[in-house]
Amino acid sequence: TNTSQPKRADRSKVYVADLESTLHYSLRVEAARTAVLSGDQLATFKCYVAMLVKYFPGRPCVQTYLQSLDGWLRNWTEPELPRSALKEAMKNNRDASHPAVLPTNVSWVGCRGSEPHFRGYPCGLWTVFHLLTVQAAQSGPDKELPLEVLSAMRCYVRHFFGCQECAQHFEAMAAESMDRVAGREEAVLWLWSHHNEVNARLAGGDTEDPKFPKLQWPPPDMCPQCHKEERGVHAWDEPAVLTFLKAHFSPANIYPDYAE
Ligand code: FAD
């Protein structure tokens, strides 16, 4: 029977399961693949966790988890970090008066593919990165550290993302234009427009889930005001897109899993 299957996800929502599954997989599986972290990889990992602490809008136990991992990493001043020590530091702590827990199961709701080899983690990683650029834009002066999230994400993708071909494509896009981003809102739009470039490149290809065709996002039925026409040619209304992204990737639009 199909009773354990979640209800069909609502694509206008962001789901806790996707966010937490992504963080678990990224921190405990993907970043912990090599026997020892050192040099640029170690610096990237520390920077990534520090950025998550600042901007990931997690449940209290997840925020405590990230804070305690960040504190532990800051105290690790040796040049090499063995995976065994890192894995120990990344265990959950349920006993403390403030539990530090990042669930260890991987389950996809909004990112669930029609087959297990579709969607999942790469979808979750995009979702987390969009969420972080939006939270950063909502929390500090626009012109202050505009590249804080994008740089951490760029380093993460370069040093850890398991899909090497993806990492190379992304690095090429970043090298071309990321450094020109001058504000936090511009960073939100940079990630959005480059994700759409990736969507266009991959549309119709063999990694595309046939049930989730790659679109220029958000499509008109999700955000009619994001689309306009200039002399008969489609154009984006970027201020409207920014408003849409801020609402879509806001804590108020993050839903518990399997919501009715
Ligand atoms: P995804 O593209 O993963 O999008 C996830 C969700 O984000 C969507 O469901 C939608 O809700 C939302 N979304 C979609 N577009 C946007 C947008 N423009 N702005 C904001 N939100 C949006 N795969 C390859 O085969 N080759 C590659 O070179 C490649 N490069 C990648 C680079 C990176 C950095 C990442 C994270 C992934 C890459 N992938 C690549 C994987 C690919 O982009 C998809 O993640 C994967 O195919 C799953 O697609 P999806 O349909 O779940 O939607």
Which CATH number belongs to the domain containing residue 18 in this structure?
A: 1.20.120.1960
Look at residue 2 in the predicted model and tell me its pLDDT: 46
Our measurement of the distance from residue 229's CA atom to the centroid of its chain's CA atoms, rounded to an integer in Å, reads: 31
Sign for the CA dihedral angle at 69, 71, 72, 78 comes to: positive
In a domain, 98, yes or no: no
DSSP class per residue in the chain: --TTSPPPPPTTSEEHHHHHHHHHIIIIIITT-SSEEEHHHHHHHHHHHHHHHHH----HHHHHHHHHHHHHHHH--SSEEEHHHHHHHTS-B-SSSS-B--------STTB-SSTTSBSHHHHHHHHHHHHHHHHHHHS-TTSSTTHHHHHHHHHHHHH-S-HHHHHHHHHHHHHHGGG--SHHHHHHHHHHHHHHHHHHHTTSTTS-TTS---SSS-TTT-GGGEEEETTEEEE-HHHHHHHHHHHTSGGGEE-TT--
Domain closes at, from 89, 113, 135: 89
- Do both 83 and 22 map to the same domain? yes
198 CB under 6 A from ligand 1?
yes
In a domain, 107, yes or no: no
Domain closes at, from 68, 89, 110: 89
Look at residue 1 in the predicted model and tell me its pLDDT: 44
Q: Given the DSSP bridges, would you call strands 36-38 and 14-15 parallel, antiparallel or unpaired?
A: unpaired
> Do residues 139 and 251 lie in contact, with contact meaning Cβ atoms separated by under 8 Å?
no
* Nearest protein CA to atom 16 of ligand 1, as residue: 217
Look at residue 5 in the predicted model and tell me its pLDDT: 55
Look at residue 201 in the predicted model and tell me its pLDDT: 97
- Residue 70 structural domain: 14-89
User: Ligand 1 mean position to 259 CA, how many Å?
Assistant: 24
> How many structural domains comprise the chain?
2
Look at residue 259 in the predicted model and tell me its pLDDT: 45
In a domain, 112, yes or no: no
112 CB under 6 A from ligand 1?
no
CATH of the domain at 158: 1.20.120.310
- Do both 78 and 140 map to the same domain? no
Look at residue 96 in the predicted model and tell me its pLDDT: 84
- Do both 217 and 146 map to the same domain? yes
* Nearest protein CA to atom 17 of ligand 1, as residue: 192
170 CB under 6 A from ligand 1?
yes
Atom of ligand 1 nearest to the CA of 153: 34
Instruction: Look up residue 171 and give its two tokens.
Output: 């690095």
User: Ligand 1 mean position to 214 CA, how many Å?
Assistant: 8
In a domain, 109, yes or no: no
Q: Using CB atoms within 10 A of its CB, is residue 138 exposed (0-12), middle (13-18) or buried (19+)?
A: middle
Domain closes at, from 89, 110, 131: 89
User: Ligand 1 mean position to 212 CA, how many Å?
Assistant: 11
166 CB under 6 A from ligand 1?
yes
Instruction: Look up residue 191 and give its two tokens.
Output: 């990630």
In a domain, 183, yes or no: yes
User: Ligand 1 mean position to 170 CA, how many Å?
Assistant: 11
169 CB under 6 A from ligand 1?
yes
- Do both 30 and 131 map to the same domain? no
Q: Given the DSSP bridges, would you call strands 36-38 and 80-82 parallel, antiparallel or unpaired?
A: antiparallel
207 CB under 6 A from ligand 1?
yes
Look at residue 258 in the predicted model and tell me its pLDDT: 57
- Do both 125 and 247 map to the same domain? yes
- Do both 73 and 29 map to the same domain? yes
In a domain, 5, yes or no: no
Instruction: Look up residue 208 and give its two tokens.
Output: 């595309």
Look at residue 239 in the predicted model and tell me its pLDDT: 98
Nearest CA to 22 out of 13, 11, 31, 34 is that of 31
User: Ligand 1 mean position to 107 CA, how many Å?
Assistant: 18
- Do both 51 and 139 map to the same domain? no
In a domain, 115, yes or no: no
Pocket test of ligand 1: the residue of 11, 26, 126 to mutate, having most ligand atoms within 8 Å of its CB, is 126
- Quote the CA–CA distance of 6 and 189 in Å, as a whole number: 32
- Do both 141 and 211 map to the same domain? yes
User: Rg of the chain's alpha carbons, rounded to an integer?
Assistant: 19
In a domain, 236, yes or no: yes
- Do both 165 and 80 map to the same domain? no
User: Ligand 1 mean position to 181 CA, how many Å?
Assistant: 21
Look at residue 8 in the predicted model and tell me its pLDDT: 78
The pLDDT profile of the chain, 260 residues, written as one tens digit per residue, is 444 555 679 999 999 999 999 999 999 999 999 999 999 999 999 999 999 999 999 999 999 999 999 999 999 999 999 999 999 999 999 988 999 999 999 999 999 999 999 999 999 999 999 999 999 999 989 999 999 999 999 999 999 999 999 999 999 999 999 999 999 999 999 999 999 999 999 999 999 999 999 999 999 999 999 999 999 999 999 999 999 999 999 999 999 985 44
- Do both 126 and 62 map to the same domain? no
User: Ligand 1 mean position to 164 CA, how many Å?
Assistant: 15
- Do both 31 and 141 map to the same domain? no
